Structure 1
Amino acid sequence: MGFMMDGLDAEAYDRTYADREVVVRVLTYFRQQRLRVALGVASIVASAAADTALPIYISYALDELAAGRARLLPALLVVGGLGVLGWALNYARRMLTARAVGDVVLQMRSDAFDAVLERDMSFYDQFQSGKIVSRVTSDTQAFSQVVVLAIDLLSQLLLVFVLVGYLYTVSAQLAWMLVALAPFVVALALGFRYLARATITQSRRVGAQVSALIQETVSGIGVAKTFRQEGAVYDTFLQVNEQSFRINRRAGYVFSGIWPLLNMLAGIGTAALVYFGGMRVVGGLLSAGSWYLFIQGLALFWFPLTSIASFWSQFQLGLAAAERVFALLDAEPRVVQLGEQRLPQLAGKIEFESVDFAYAPSQPVLRSFSLGIAAGETVALVGHTGSGKSSIVKLIARFYEFQGGSLRIDGHDIRQLQLAAYRAQLGIVTQSPFLFDGTVRDNIRYGRPDASAEQVSSAAQQVGAGDWLESLPQGMDTLVGERGSALSMGQRQLVALARVVLQDPSIFILDEATASVDPLTEALIQEGLDALVRGRTSIVIAHRLSTIRHADRIVVLRAGEIIETGTHAQLLERNAHYAELYNTYFRHQSLAYIDAPVN
């Protein structure tokens, strides 16, 4: 399947960052957490001191007890006190770390989500939504886990440095035996780092692929059931899941391969320390308490060293996750505004002049396309599928960037306009309107969040005289369900139309909004459209005669070029391409919902 072929490939917007670049960029997120970071560092130092003091005191107490110079109970109280102090300081460190890292992840996830919102529509046409979601959620979470591990490792390493420094004062020879293990472990960890990075990156990608397939399946479950494709969908999931299993198994082999080597080093180090330390105790060169301290020091020393090896796998996971998030943040936009000009109120004049547009370089859609639409004019775009109708309205909405020519709104280059302010004056109703989970009232207000209850109600009443609301169980308070699943397609269109009515746009775009509704609902929609298009620029794409026949002008397109323009009557009289479309698609449509007979 095509879904399987590119699962492990990098996305087109992915890039490779140097480890140093990723780390420096991550650290910039911690600048706002300076106080917590400072307190965290202080708690790390304090907890390392307390954790180091405990084995040192136990060593001292053992020697004192053996010599009869100390009593057991006071020694136990001191040991207990040092243990409680170490626990309290470590708890404080972890709390400060959790808060600082949590705030950083919150900011990083917010930045990633903001980047998702800022991407233009071509970005979503090219990349799967499930993989994008994985970067915002899973990758930011993986990054946070690595930061926590890094802080834990720092605390352990500080403990080792303090303890080893003390051990040098007790026996330099045995201390050197401990330190001699470090270069081997560090070299092993660094070598493992390069092997792990590629495997972990593949693991993150295949995880995103699984998420994307699951999300796509859930979103399209109705289609799968309609065409009885549950088995095929399940087979596809098994293939993707098997691919994920193989990649993660490979990662497991890489990660687990290092442990036998580390255990071998640990065994050699322990045997050497027990032997040479024991010999020094027997020879009277080392006290039993000091020998205990070295044995305990080996355990404390060995744990962070082995953590370094395991940390590198987690560290590479975190770098790969952060790299994927930063790639999303740094993705170059295709729609680029050259200015921030605000137009207080659009008149609605639209001018295409020699516009070239293609979704891909090898697939041109519009070639030297020119079209002028007067302010307040209603223009219907008709033509076969692929003629460029939807592309024209997408360019007007500034969802895509054109490659040549100019597009002006009220005489201003569309690339010079402040995009949010411009789109606030556009009203768009598509063939498959998207409704958010909530009530009908919430979805109507979506286009104008500050609207009053009366304004929302008035907008709903302007569509089909409000009769459609009576068919809803709770009227305006009816829950629409996810994506509007609790409503019929016609009801969703009526809600979408009321949403645009409330918005009161200067330019109205209707993109085949009546193509999937029954004639009765079409009549209600048409009533709303008649009121909505009056006095404002309207661009209509439709396959229904009732929607286009009263347009001020009909523009007939073929392969991205205008081949005819005129009114419905004029174009029929010419008996050319539009007349052919009319006889093929329009003539058979019921005239019960058309105001006047067709000549």
Structure 2
Amino acid sequence: MSDLFAGLHADAYDRVYGNRRLLARILRQLRAHRAGMVGSALLVAGSVLLTASVPIVVSRLIDQAGGGSGPGLLLCLFVVAAAVLAWAMNWARQAITARLVGGMVYQLQSEAADAALAKDVAFYDENSVGKVLSRVTGDTEGFGSVLTLTLNLISQLFLVVLLGGVVFWIDPGLGLVIVAALPFLLGTALAFRRVARTAASATRRVMAKVNANVHETMLGIAVAKNFGREQAVYGDFDEVNRLSYRVYVRQGLIYAVILPVLTLLAGLATAVVLYQGGRFAVLGRLSAGEWYFALQALGMLWQPVTQAASFWSLFQQGLAAAERVFALIDSDHAVVQSGNAPVTALSGAVEARGLHFRYGSGATVFRDFDVRLAPRETVAVVGHTGGGKSTLAKLIARAYDFQGGELLVDGRDIRGLDLLAYRRRVGVVPQHPFIFAGTLAENIAYGRPGADRADVVRAVERIGHRVWDRSMPMSLDDPLAAGGQGVSVGQRQLIALARMFVREPDILLLDEPTASVDPLTERGIQDALSRLCADRTVLVIAHRLSTIRRADRVLVLHGGEIAEQGGFGELLRRDGPFAALYATYYAHQESA
């Protein structure tokens, strides 16, 4: 089994919770549904009493018939009324249980979704979105299914206790025979506990792996088709799917073993009770009605007891699902604030002092790194791939935490600020902006919560109707597909810039918004950028010569260090690292 589960590694943030700790946490969450629990318990008690009363009354009728008198009409009517009322109570209990479980799943999904949304960019750089989605949806629903089984089983266990007590009252010897069989049933079920928990955890992980594969395949389907890689993509999915098949088959075999074993043990116990009860009846210790009741009670006892024993294996699925959800909720944040100082307007002064940063356990990106951005200064960052350009922007955006040194904004340590308030004062325009499902106006208004139609129209006007009308042949009310299918790169960049005009950040971080657009659109976007960059601090990762020329200062990064900095013309005259970059990457744009 270990070989089969070898490819199903736990995620880095997974945790192992003991059964006691998991159950205690589940019970804490059930406190919010106390009223439903009390109502369900009362209905369970009522239906159990009525259900248990039926074989008792029937046994009395049998004894009356054996004594020569006919069955009493009132007792017969009681049996009918008890059965109908027990059914009605059971239906009401099931309705309450459905609401209770639905509320529990809703609460758990809300907490899981809130935890997923609260994670930083670093978390999603290291963990698959598909696997996280599987925890928020599949694992919470799986837990809800097992919770339903648990609540249903509780009512049957009440019946076991009640009927068992009546059997002991009729004949303690017969009751002891029944009780003696219980340790064998429960012991057999508990013997499967560890292997069942392992199989259940593997099942949840393989489902997460399948979901992640499908999610990422759909995101990259256009690339796969462009390169004719459909067969290779299907091969990857087939490999994961076959692993899923093997895991599910193994789990099915594990669960298929326990119920027949328990049924066999219950059958042997029934034979013993039947034989012993018959002997007691012959000896006169039991009447015919009491023997009938003992047999009926036995039949009603074994089913819930067997289900309770076999249920332990199924219960492990619910615990495994809950464990995965709680691990997501409890996972540590990559960005940790030391304070919660309020943030209003920022002048935009940014300074790094002795900054030290690396990604996880990877190579160090910055070591004793120093840089300063003056308020309302536009700084273009250039350099070879891996030099630290994007990392610097991500650290200022507080997408990652740094391991040493200081990063100050307006003279205050960025780690001591209210994180949400700070991020609202920082605008980020990535090279490939994401488009959400909704209208064009809704996508633009996404830049600031509460933005209205007037804000959207004003943002479009600030970009300029000439470039907007030429590049965006659609109305503000036209719908856009999730991911931006049917929207060009240039159009996405214009939408992203419009979001920033709505947002009005004090610090703006740009990953060259004109890197992938045509020259005509580039000129329009550059004009819009000039208006957007005015009166705010701007850090732009520059790939275009036009962007570098417009910057107040150029920062050349190499190997996580500042190789050179200064104005565009000044750096060219120095004939240093920037001049070499210019000759290699930018000179050809002069004639473009």
Contact in 1 for aligned 2:280/2:286 (Cα 8 Å): yes
SS in 2 for 1:17: coil
Question: Secondary structure of 1:386's partner?
Answer: coil
Once residues 444 and 293 of structure 2 are traced to their aligned partners in structure 1, the CA distance between those partners, rounded to angstroms, is 72
- Could you tell me whether the CA contact under 8 Å between 1:464 and 1:525 is conserved in 2? no
Residues 288-297 or 327-336, more deviating: 288-297
Q: Alpha carbons of 1:76 and 1:520: their partners in 2 closer, same or farther (altered >3 Å)?
A: farther
Query: Given residue 258 of structure 1, which amino acid in structure 2 is its aligned partner?
Result: I
Give the drift of 1:560: 0.7
* Kept in 2: contact 1:381–1:542 (CA 8 A): yes
SS in 2 for 1:588: helix
Question: Is contact 1:514–1:542 with CA below 8 Å preserved after alignment?
Answer: no
What per-residue deviation string (whole Å, max 9, x for no partner) do you get for residues 262-281 of structure 1? Answer: 12212212222333333444
Question: Contact conserved, 2:471 with 2:491, CA < 8 A, in 1?
Answer: no
- For the pair 1:176 / 2:176, whether they are aligned, the reply is yes
Mapped to 2, the partners of 1:75 and 1:40 lie a distance apart of 28
Distance 1:518 1:488 in 2: 11
Distance in 2 between the 1:287 and 1:492 partners? Answer: 86
Is 2:160–2:305's contact at 8 Å kept on the other side of the alignment? no
Distance 1:252 1:454 in 2: 59
Match of 2:214 in 1: 214
State the alpha-carbon separation in 2 of the partners of residues 18 and 534 from structure 1.
57
Q: Which residue of 1 aligns with 2:126?
A: 126
The equivalent of 2:306 in structure 1 is: 306
C-alpha deviations, 1:234-293, integer Å up to 9, x for none? 111111111111122111221111123212212212222333333444555433322221
Q: Which runs of 5+ in 1 are unaligned?
A: 593-599
CA distance in 2, matches of 1:528, 1:386: 29
2-side partners of 1:567 and 1:189: how far apart?
76
Question: How far apart are the structure 1 equivalents of 2:75 and 2:426?
Answer: 79
Worse-superposed segment, 52-61 or 156-165: 52-61
The equivalent residue for 2:537 is 537
Q: Residues of 2 paired with 1:5 and 1:401: CA distance?
A: 34
For 2:408 and 2:472, locate their aligned partners in 1 and report how far apart those are by CA, in whole Å.
42
Aligned counterpart, 1:99: 99
Q: What SS class does the counterpart of residue 400 from structure 1 fall into?
A: coil
Deviations 1:193-226 (A, max 9, x none): 1221112111111111111101111111111111
Contact kept, 8 Å, 1:444 with 1:495, in 2: the verdict is: yes
In 1, Cα distance between the equivalents of 2:386 and 2:6? 27
SS of 2:589's equivalent in the other structure is coil
SS of the counterpart of 2:372?
A: strand
Q: Using the TM superposition, give the Cα deviation of residue 492 of structure 1 relative to its aligned residue in structure 2, in angstroms.
A: 1.1
Q: TM-score, normalised by structure 1?
A: 0.95
CA contact (8 A) 2:164 2:175 kept: yes
Comparing 257-266 with 496-505, greater Cα deviation is found at 257-266
The 5 Å alignment of 1:126-275 reads 126-275=126-275
User: Aligned pair in 2 of structure 1 residues 279, 402: CA closer, same or farther (>3 Å)?
Assistant: same
Measure the CA separation in 2 of the matches of 1:540 and 1:8.
41
Q: Judging changes above 3 Å, is the alpha-carbon distance between structure 1 residues 115 and 6 closer, same or farther for their aligned structure 2 residues?
A: farther
The structural deviation recorded for 1:172 is 2.4
Any idea what the Cα deviations from partners look like across 1:526-565, whole Å, max 9, x if unmatched?
A: 1210100011111111211112211000001111111111
> Is 1:384 the counterpart of 2:391 in the alignment?
no
Alpha-carbon displacement from aligned partner over 1:130-164 (angstroms, at most 9, x marks no partner): 11111111111111122221111111111011111
Q: Distance in 1 between matches of 2:219 and 2:5?
A: 22
Work out the CA distance in 2 between the residues paired with 1:5 and 1:548.
53
Q: Distance in 1 between matches of 2:288 and 2:469?
A: 88
Contact 1:472 1:478 in 2 (8 A): no
Bigger mean CA deviation after superposition, 143-152 or 129-138 = 143-152
- Contact 1:7–1:209, Cα closer than 8 Å, also in 2: no
User: Secondary structure of 1:380's match?
Assistant: strand
Residue in 2 aligned with 1:48? 48
1:412 is aligned to 412
Output the aligned Cα RMSD: 1.8
Is the CA contact (8 Å cut-off) linking 2:174 and 2:273 kept in structure 1?
yes
- Residues 7, 205 of structure 1: 8 Å contact kept: no
- Tell me how far apart the structure 1 counterparts of residues 536 and 108 of structure 2 sit (CA, whole Å): 42
The one-letter code of the counterpart of 1:365 is V
| Separation in structure 1 between the aligned mates of residue 376 and residue 14 of structure 2, nearest angstrom | 44
Cα distance in structure 2, aligned partners of 1:457 and 1:362: 45
**1:468, distance to aligned residue in structure 2 (A):** 2.4
Q: Deviations over 1:441-471 (max 9, x none)?
A: 0011111231221121110222243642466
1:271-286 aligned within 5 A = 271-286=271-286
Q: Describe the SS at the equivalent of 2:336.
A: coil
Normalized against structure 2, the TM-score is what?
0.96
Aligned amino acid, residue 485 of structure 1: Q
Report the Cα distance in structure 1 between the residues aligned to 2:155 and 2:130, rounded to whole angstroms. 37
- Check the 8 A contact 1:380/1:540 in 2, yes or no: yes
Structure 1 residue matching 2:427: 3-state secondary structure: strand
Partner residue in 2 for 1:568 = 568
| 8 Å Cα contact 1:460/1:466 also seen in 2 | no
Contact 1:65-1:72 at 8 Å conserved across structures = no
For residue 359 of structure 2, give the secondary structure of its aligned residue in structure 1.
Answer: strand
CA distance in 1, matches of 2:360, 2:419: 24
Equivalent pairs, count:
589
**Aligned residues of 1:479 and 1:486 also touching (Cα < 8 A):** no
Q: Distance in 1 between matches of 2:403 and 2:299?
A: 65
Structure 1: distance between partners of 2:68 and 2:494: 93
1:291 maps to which residue? 291
Secondary structure at 1:385 match in 2: coil
Amino acid at match of 1:86: A
Q: What residue number does 1:449 align with?
A: 449
Match of 1:595 in 2: none
* Contact map agreement 1:382 1:557 (CA 8 A) in 2: yes
1:59-138 residue pairs with structure 2 within 5 A? Answer: 59-71=59-71, 74-138=74-138
